[in-house]
Structure 1
Amino acid sequence: MSHIEVLESELRSFQIELTSEQKRVLARYCDELVHWNKQINLTGLGGSDMVRRLVVGPLWVGCQLKPQGVLADIGSGNGSPAIPLHVLCKFSKAHLIETRARRAAFLRHITTTLELTRVIVHRSRFEEIASELRPVDWITLQGVAFTEELLNSIRNIATATTTIVWISSPDARPPGHPFWTLQVPFTGNTVFLFRC
């Protein structure tokens, strides 16, 4: 099955409706993930698992939260959840923050290939560039250890309305207490939501 076919099947399972253009862009994202994954380790997932966890799961989160404004995605790596969220929500600006050079190169390639506007790739640690990102409305983390040190750096730029979205396993232990928790269907992932 092609990525567009897998994507359409997963979208039906999650009861998410997208435009034809959004589906085309996200299927191309999956194609590029698979291609680049042969050279650099972007994900251990493949097939429908990859589409479900890296694309449709974040889309489901976006449908629940309806984020808008400015996004900062910490540890962007393979582009999830930021790229699917940006395709769905059309943030006014999205910062993809990744320390590793090869993954940052992939992120630059994918944002150019998909013609994603208002997306900025930073090859840096969040703590080093946090002050340059203000103001930020949404901060996402997936596959990143959410430590007290990182939370303190986030607090330095967060406003009273900034929402932190941590997508992790259900047994993860977040620093602090989330104000809301969501279970992503079919993935086993939990979404912890925080405000500073």
Structure 2
Amino acid sequence: MNFTEALQRAAADYGLTLSEEQQQQFIRYYELLIEWNKKINLTAITGPCDVAVKHIIDSLSCYDKTLFLPHAKVIDVGTGAGFPGIPLKIWRPDLKLTLLDSLNKRLIYLKEVVDQLGLKQVTIVHSRAEDGAHDRELREKFSVVTSRAVARMTVLTELCLPLVCTGGHFLALKGKDTFNEVEAAKKAIRILGGEVISIRPVHLPGLNDERNIVIIKKLRPSPSHYPRRPAMIEKKPL
């Protein structure tokens, strides 16, 4: 099965209807992912069916129209190969998307993706998450912050919640052990001004592994001295 067929089947099985333009953008995205993966380490998942389900549909699984309001400002922290940020942008072209990553080689790749797919209102930021969260241009400027497979919730919370504006949401795409991770991070979530709204299970087509979307609402500003340096976050989690 080629990627076009795999994408169409995965989208239909998940209940999504892609326009012709969206399909063509996802196909070109896949081609660029495979091409660049030969030069830099982007992903271990390269098969057409696996990319369609485990990258594209998995990224779109965090979409909720009640959270992604029209023209919402969204930042994808530790975006890597562009997941979930790029699929969300293809699905909702009106989103004002920022992609944040610490590796410049990945950002060069992402710029080519953005240019070749014709995506507008996409900003690419070269920064570590803990530095970006202290940048006045980024701190508490986003109504939605996403992060996928980056770190444990105790760490993610401290890195990501300072980027969320009051009233906005942090969406963490997590795998197994989500509930234990969230329990361990409850104190950090409270200190940083958030509250867990829900932990939504995700069932991807053809897969039985555990996946969840943790939805945290930002109730008040985060204390200015957070996030701390990564070594301190690891050594002394909140």
For normalisation by structure 2, the TM-score amounts to: 0.75
SS class of match (1:179):
strand
More displaced, 145-154 or 83-92? 145-154
Output the CA distance in 1 between the equivalents of 2:8 and 2:64: 16
1:115-154 equivalences under 5 Å are 115-130=118-133, 131-133=136-138, 134-148=140-154, 150-154=156-160
Q: Tell whether 2:197 aligns with 1:192.
A: no
1:2-36 CA deviation, whole Å, 9 max, x = no partner? 32211001111111111110111011111111111
Aligned CA distance change for structure 1 residues 63 and 13 (closer, same or farther; 3 Å):
farther
Query: Counterpart of 2:124 in structure 1: which amino acid?
Result: V
Bigger shift: residues 135-144 or 54-63:
54-63
What is the deviation of 1:91?
4.1
Q: How many residues align?
A: 196
Q: Considering only CA atoms, is the larger Rg found in Structure 1 or Structure 2?
A: 2
Change (3 A) 1:66 1:90: farther
- Runs of 4 or more consecutive aligned structure 1 residues displaced over 6 Å after TM superposition: none
Question: Residue in 1 aligned with 2:228?
Answer: none
Q: Give how far 1:66 is off.
A: 5.4
1:62 corresponds to which residue?
A: 63
Residue identity (%): 23
CA contact (8 A) 2:144 2:164 kept: no
Gaps of 5+ in 2: 187-194, 219-238
Aligned counterpart, 1:171? 177
Q: Distance in 1 between matches of 2:65 and 2:54?
A: 16
How far residue 160 of structure 1 moved from its aligned partner, in angstroms, is 2.8
Equivalent residue letter for 1:185: H
Partner-residue secondary structure (3-state), 1:52: helix
Structure 1 23/123 Cα, relative in aligned 2: closer, same or farther at 3 Å?
A: same
2:77 alignment partner, one of 74, 77, 81:
74
Question: Which residue type is aligned with residue 57 of structure 2?
Answer: V
Instruction: Write the distance in 2 (CA, Å) between the matches of 1:5 and 1:136.
Output: 35
1:31 aligns with 2:34: no
Q: Is the 8 A contact 1:73 1:95 kept in 2?
A: yes
Question: 1:38 is aligned with what amino acid?
Answer: K
In structure 2, what is the equivalent of residue 114 of structure 1?
117
2:52 paired with 1:51: yes
CA RMSD of aligned residues (A): 2.0
Code of the aligned partner of 2:214: F
Name the amino acid aligned to 2:129.
F
Greater Cα offset, 75-84 or 108-117: 108-117
1:17-67 deviation digits (Å, cap 9, x = unpaired): 111101110111111111111111111112211211111122233256551
Cα deviations by residue, 1:76-104 (Å, 9 ceiling, x for unpaired): 10101000011112244111000011111
Q: Secondary structure at the match of 1:61?
A: coil
Aligned equivalents of 1:150 and 1:60: distance in 2? 19
TM-score if structure 1 supplies the norm length?
0.90
Q: What is the SS of the residue equivalent to 2:142?
A: coil
- Unmatched segments (≥5 aa) in structure 1: none
1:195 alignment partner, SS class: strand
Shift of the 56–149 alpha-carbon distance from structure 1 to 2, 3 Å rule, reads closer
